[in-house]
Amino acid sequence: METQVEKVYVAVGNDIQDGYKTLAWTLRKWNAQQISIVLLHVTYNISKDFVYTPFGKLPASAVSEEKLEVLRMYEQEKTDKLLSKYIAFCGKVKAEILKVEKYDEPIHKLIVDLMSGLRIGKFVMGMTFMKSSSGYGKLIS
C-alpha cells in the first residue's frame, strides 16, 4: 500500500531569515512523515495607489507607465528569487508555490477563506508573516 503524501501549507513572507526558521521548524516537525510543502506567499500589487521606490512610497500617478512596468518587473524578479531560495531550502521535500496578492481584505480573513476553500488541514505561519502581511489579499496563480 502506497503512503499518501500530506500537504503542509507554510506561510512565508519577505523576511528570508524568518521564512527559513518557519520552514526549518516545519521540516523538523514532519521529518518522520512524507510531506509536500505548499509555500503561501503574499505579493504586493504595485499598480494601484502607491509604488515603492528608492525614494520611498510615492503615489502611482507620480510615476510614468514605463517606470511602473520597470518597478513591476523588478518586484517580480525579487519575489521569484526569494521563492526559489525557499524552494531550495526545502531540499528533497517536494515544494510548490501559492501566491496571494494583497488587496483590501484583512490577511486573517483571507487565510481563513483559503483554509476553508482549499481544505487546508496543516498550516504553519511565523509571527513576522502576520506583521509584514497584515494588510489585505487575493489569490493569484
Mean pLDDT score, 10-36: 94
pLDDT tens for each residue of 104-126: 677 788 888 889 999 999 999 98
Read off the CATH number of the domain in which 121 is found. Answer: 3.40.50.620
Model pTM score: 0.79
In a domain, 1, yes or no: no
> How far, in Å, CA of 46 to CA of 75, rounded?
9
The parent domain of residue 55 ranges over 6-139
> How far, in Å, CA of 15 to CA of 79, rounded?
11
pLDDT at residue 56 greater than cutoff 90: no
Mean pLDDT score, 89-101: 93
In a domain, 44, yes or no: yes
CA angle 93, 8, 85 (to 5 degrees): 50
Q: How confident is the model at residue 22 (pLDDT cuts 50, 70, 90)?
A: very high
Higher pLDDT, 117 or 133: 117
